[in-house]
């Protein structure tokens, strides 16, 4: 059995880690080595679900002050570096913003430990941040660290994930290794609707993280007028229920899911009507339902308050989507052919 010891920066609650640990390729296995995140609840969720017997392997501290030298040798690195400054929402500060340069800590780990491969994840908007210069810089730094890189904008809904979520994922393989990664094809996967994901199988009454959000009478009344797929601005609302919003009208405000399609993107926010709303019932989704749309299994238990859990779920990588990509990496190293597509970045 060929085993890869995996380190993670910005590990989040464990979407990437779950995908890595559950990747199923004969003769190949990915094992947890260490992880880092700065949020206490997030670290507790990760530890509880990924490495309950090795809590000291999760370093809950700010990456700016993290001693990279203490982390230990690894065969692989995953880092979903914070995307705040590369997202299409916000000021798009890129390298000038507080979070922009955080990817560079991943580069430091690559240079120090020289793992055989890595997986880096960010929002699709990173491709156009700083008029494209940010993404070019990040790729060049990865190449300079000694890696062949394979960037691709994954549309996770094409891979059977019940959510429209578009993420830039860069796979890197160390220069001295004879392997060439190919982006796994989405042709093998059937579109999965949000209704299928939430209802099949039914969520048990005693499921963790399944508390319902209390809706105000006004919100319940507003939702009565919003049809599946509509939001507070496209629905025909009575004057007293219309939102008094100036400027941008975000399309996800009080938006109901369309039960015939994958969900729209789950985010970490939750105020002002952004909880994600049920297609039929006059309520927001529970965290467990949101976790279903992020393809976490029901026995993956999130730690912290309801608000903290909502943020953790929204910031995660879809667990099953991560599994697909990690399996493609393992097949690459095992020499097992798989259906693939050209690794150019699709729009």
Tokens found for residue 118 = 């890595």
| 83 given a catalytic annotation | yes
Q: What is the pLDDT of residues 228-262, one digit of tens each?
A: 999 999 999 998 999 887 666 668 889 999 999 99
CATH number of the domain to which 11 belongs: 3.40.50.150
The number of folded domains in the chain is 1
| pLDDT (0 to 100) of residue 222 | 95
**In a domain? residue 182:** yes
**Buried/exposed 45-83: b ≥16 CB within 10 Å, e otherwise:** bbbbbbbeeeeebbbbeebeebeeeebeebbbbbbbbbb
Q: 76-79 and 117-123: which strand pairing?
A: parallel
Q: Which of these is catalytic: 43, 51, 60, 83?
A: 83
Domain that holds residue 177: 2-191+317-341
pLDDT band at 273 (very low <50, low <70, confident <90, very high): confident
**In a domain? residue 249:** no
**DSSP state letter for 228:** T
**In a domain? residue 323:** yes
Q: If you average pLDDT over each of 100-104, 241-245, 289-293, which comes out highest?
A: 289-293
Q: What is the pLDDT of residues 38-91, one digit of tens each?
A: 999 999 999 999 999 999 999 999 998 999 999 999 999 999 987 655 544 455
Record the pTM. 0.93
Task: Pick the closest to residue 268 from 147, 132, 165 (CA basis).
Answer: 165
Distances (CA, A) of 253 to 186, 219, 332, 335: 30, 11, 42, 47
- Supply the angle between the helices 103-113 and 133-144 in degrees, to the nearest 10: 10
What is the average pLDDT score of the chain? 91
Residue 246, φ and ψ in degrees, nearest 5: -100, 150
**In a domain? residue 261:** no
246-254: long-range pairs with CB below 8 Å, 24+: 250/274, 252/276, 254/219, 254/222, 254/223, 254/226
Contact criterion met (CB below 8 Å) for 109 and 68: yes
**In a domain? residue 9:** yes
**In a domain? residue 298:** no
Distances (CA, A) of 233 to 66, 216, 262: 45, 19, 21
**In a domain? residue 272:** no
| pLDDT (0 to 100) of residue 32 | 98
**In a domain? residue 171:** yes
| pLDDT (0 to 100) of residue 243 | 87
Residue 108 pLDDT greater than 70, yes or no: yes
């Amino acid at each position: 059995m060929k085993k890869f010891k995996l380190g993670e920066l910005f590990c989040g609650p464990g979407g990437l880690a779950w995908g890595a640990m559950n990747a199923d390729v004969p003769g190949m296995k990915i094992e947890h080595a260490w992880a880092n995140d700065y949020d206490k609840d997030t670290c507790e969720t990760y530890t509880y679900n990924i490495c309950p017997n090795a809590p000291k392997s999760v370093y809950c501290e700010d990456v700016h002050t993290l001693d990279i030298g203490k982390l230990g040798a690894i065969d692989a690195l995953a880092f979903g570096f914070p995307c705040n400054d590369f997202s299409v929402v916000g000021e798009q500060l890129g390298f000038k913003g507080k979070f922009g340069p955080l990817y560079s800590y991943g580069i430091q780990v690559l240079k120090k430990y020289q793992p055989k491969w890595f997986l880096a994840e960010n929002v699709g908007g990173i491709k156009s941040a700083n008029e494209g210069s940010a993404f070019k810089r990040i790729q060049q730094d990865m190449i300079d660290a000694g890696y062949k890189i394979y960037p691709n904008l994954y549309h996770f809904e094409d891979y059977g994930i019940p959510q429209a979520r578009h993420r830039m994922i860069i796979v890197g393989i160390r220069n001295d290794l004879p392997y060439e990664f190919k982006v796994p094809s989405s042709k093998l996967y059937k579109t999965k609707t949000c209704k299928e994901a939430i209802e099949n199988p039914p969520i048990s009454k005693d499921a963790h993280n399944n508390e319902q959000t209390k809706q105000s009478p006004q919100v319940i009344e507003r939702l009565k007028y919003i049809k599946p797929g509509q939001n507070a601005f496209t629905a025909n609302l009575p004057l007293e229920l219309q939102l008094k919003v100036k400027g941008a009208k975000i399309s996800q405000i009080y938006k109901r899911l369309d039960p015939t399609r994958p969900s729209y993107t789950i985010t970490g926010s939750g105020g002002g009507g952004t909880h994600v709303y049920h297609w039929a019932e006059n309520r927001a989704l529970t965290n467990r339902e949101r976790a279903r749309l992020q393809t976490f299994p029901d026995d993956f238990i999130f730690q912290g308050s309801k608000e903290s859990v909502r943020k953790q779920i929204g910031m995660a990588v879809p667990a099953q989507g991560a599994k697909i990509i990690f399996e493609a990496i393992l097949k690459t190293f095992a020499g097992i052919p798989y259906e693939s597509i050209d690794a150019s970045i699709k729009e």
